[in-house]
Amino acid sequence: MSTAALAGGIALAAAAAACYDGAVALQAVEARAVSERTAGLGLLRSLIKRPRWLAATGLAIAGWPLQVAALALAPLTVVQPALALGLVVLLALGNRLLHEPVRPRDLAAVAAIALGLALLAFYAPASEHVHAGAGTLAVVLGALGLIALVPWVARGRLPGAALVIAAGSAYAASGFTTALLADGLETGVLAAVIGWAVASALAAGAGQVDEMAALQRVGAARVAAGAFAIQTVVPVVGAPALADEHWDHPVPILAGLALVAGASLVLGTARAVTGLVAASHE
């Protein structure tokens, strides 16, 4: 894997992250505007009637091809953590547009993300464009799917933290299936491309609705950071088994992953980030 390809993958992942996190800030307004605290199909029926939510969802969808392109250039172990750069974009925008201060803690979190990505990029495994057998994929993706669908059964009876976990699990499944879609594009197997594209759309759609339910109860930045931590850690940890990524240096890879995930949780509470989200309500 060349340095140029790795850098291109990170850049595309950063662009995808900007779409995803920008959409979350806009969608938070519409999710909270729905008076009934519900989840699943009931919430989805209310949201699709709101033009601004549809526009924000379109922005999130625009990020997906960028993520697919990133995975065609760089391994899952690098691309998923690189999505944390979306929170850095929100931090910069909050500081620039709202003049919210960026505290030393926030700068330390940005530095931790940079260091974590540097470790992951330096020790990145080669992309083999192969994946685990159908049985293993069915078990892992099925488990993540069941967690993601819990809010659809429990309706509005779950706390915000449980909804964040459900959304993160759905996005983790989508991360896996998007990587498999990129592999299908690389190998040119049309059936795999169509199948994984459908699976990715379903997983991402379930995650969107779970995330909207969480946004009714929890601050948007915290929802984005919490869901991101799950959707990053689970696919990366599972990459060796599911995406056949061979970790010759597991310790620095896990250290880089921990830095990115931990720093993302910190940035989710930064005043510049939460202030930007709050301003979108005005």
Helical spans, DSSP H, in 34-133 = 40-47, 51-73, 76-82, 85-98, 104-122
| pLDDT band with cut points at 50, 70 and 90 for residue 281 | very low
Q: How far apart are CA 253 and CA 51, in angstroms?
A: 42
Q: Answer whether 266's CB lies under 8 Å from 105's CB.
A: yes
DSSP at 270: -
Q: What are 172-212's pLDDT values in tens digits? A: 999 889 988 888 888 777 888 899 999 999 998 898 888 87
Whether residue 255 is predicted with pLDDT greater than 90 in this model: the reply is yes
Provide the domain limits for residue 191: 3-279
Residues 111, 117, 121: CA angle, nearest 5 degrees: 145
Q: How far is CA 250 from CA 17, 118, 132, in A?
A: 25, 14, 19
Say if residues 71 and 245 touch (Cβ distance below 8 Å).
no
How many domains does one find in the chain? Answer: 1
pLDDT digits (tens, 9 = 90+) for 70-114: 988 888 899 999 988 888 887 887 787 667 788 999 999 999 999
- For residue range 235-254, list pLDDT tens digits in order: 888 888 777 778 888 999 99
Instruction: Say if residue 45's pLDDT is above 70.
Output: yes
